[in-house]
Amino acid sequence: MTYFPLDTSQEQFHFRDGALAYAGYHVHDSVNPLHTHSFMEIAFVTEGEGIHESLAGPLHLQAGDVMLLRPGAWHGYDQCQNLKLYNCCFSSELLRHELAWTREDPLLGYLLWTGPYSAQRQGMLTARLDPATLGECLIHLEALDALGDWPVGSHRGDVVGRLSLLLGHLGRTVARTREATGPAHPAVGQAMRLLEARLAHRWTLTELAGELHLAPGYLVRLFKGATGLPPMAYLARLRAETAAVMLLHTDQPVTGIGQAVGWPDQSYFARRFRAHYGLSATTYRAQFAGHTAGLWSWSGDGRTVIGFGGTDSAAPKSVPSRDVSPHSRPPVS
């Protein structure tokens, strides 16, 4: 099959032109610089070792380690020695539409939505897979990788299906490290959707509870029991993530971005953004928005390919291909 490498030497990566998901195998030696992206990323370590750098601090990596990052979270790799990763990336559009049901799933709701938003995790979750589970995940990663050769329009269901199976394996592993929880109350998902739909609105707990016909204290208990966060803390993390994506993808001034996400007071916006990303909004933009890498659905045959550049004119005019020997890919058991 053909193989489309994702060059992670750039500083910021994003999906473009209808592409939904990407899976690819990468090898890092020495240093891979700090970068960010505006999509969900899950990196599976299959071999070698290295140090994962993020706002959560350094993490020594070995085979079986997995890192899940929400959009906007920055990270990089250091001291890599033949560090082999299988990366899976998927768009926020896919998460909010075809995968919207995961919000109310006890395992995947934590994995994708609420776990990475917790204060100590800073937009990232980590897990350690046993060899059997890693092997099962690699089967689905290989299948997603192969789907990159086919048009998105006629294989959307295949992508969603394979991705759901992959997330199921990962969700069960993460669940073993935390207390069991039942299905979330329907009001929790409804509250999330209300906050996302009117991000710039000056929400209060009383108003949100009124929209759901619940007492404010009861809503806090429901929401915190399902997510580990009260509703207003969840809203703050959602606003910070949205602001990060706008800083990367628009020329809108920082003051305008603060207003757009519901933080019109610039001092307050600055404090909240720094609390989430460890950088000021201005520094974040200067550090990560200078270079872009896009995932295109190539118009030649609809395949998903990697290209670099901040405008549509930078999309690749032809698809680069490179044959990869089966022996150079991670083992699948």
User: How does DSSP classify residue 331?
Assistant: P
Same structural domain, 140 and 203: no
Specify the pairing of strand 12-15 against strand 65-69.
Answer: unpaired
Question: For position 67, what pLDDT does the model report?
Answer: 96
Structural domain that includes position 201? 186-262
pTM of the model: 0.80
Average pLDDT over every residue of 226-243: 90
Q: Annotate 88-139 with DSSP letters as a single string.
A: EEE-HHHHHTTTGGGGGSTTHIIIIIITTTSTTTTTEEEEE--HHHHHHHHH
Residue 3 in domain: no
Distance of alpha carbon 170 from alpha carbon 164, whole angstroms: 10
Q: How far is CA 299 from the centre of its chain?
A: 25
CA distances from 105 to 182, 209, 214, 231 (A): 9, 22, 22, 18
User: How does DSSP classify residue 198?
Assistant: T
Q: Which contiguous run of DSSP H or E holds residue 147?
A: helix 131-147
Count up the domains in the chain and report the number: 2
pLDDT digits over 69-116, tens only?
998 899 999 999 999 999 999 988 888 889 988 988 888 988 998 888
Same structural domain, 80 and 228: no
Contact 280, 293 (CB under 8 A): no
Q: Is the pLDDT of residue 25 over 60?
A: yes
Same structural domain, 134 and 236: no
Same structural domain, 35 and 158: yes
Same structural domain, 105 and 227: no
Same structural domain, 80 and 162: yes
CA distances from 121 to 33, 118, 239 (A): 21, 6, 16
Question: For position 109, what pLDDT does the model report?
Answer: 86
Distance of alpha carbon 23 from alpha carbon 44, whole angstroms: 11
Residue 180: phi and psi, rounded to 5, are -65, 140
Same structural domain, 25 and 169: yes
pLDDT digits over 132-141, tens only?
999 999 999 9
Distance of alpha carbon 63 from alpha carbon 303, whole angstroms: 30
Same structural domain, 238 and 157: no
Query: What percentage of the chain has pLDDT greater than the value 90?
Result: 53
pLDDT digits over 155-179, tens only?
899 999 999 999 999 999 998 887 6
Same structural domain, 19 and 93: yes
Same structural domain, 192 and 245: yes
Same structural domain, 193 and 170: no
Q: Is 282 helix (H, G, I), strand (E, B) or coil?
A: helix
Residue 247 in domain: yes
Rg of the chain's alpha carbons, rounded to an integer?
20
pLDDT digits over 289-333, tens only?
764 444 544 444 444 443 333 334 344 444 334 333 333 444 443
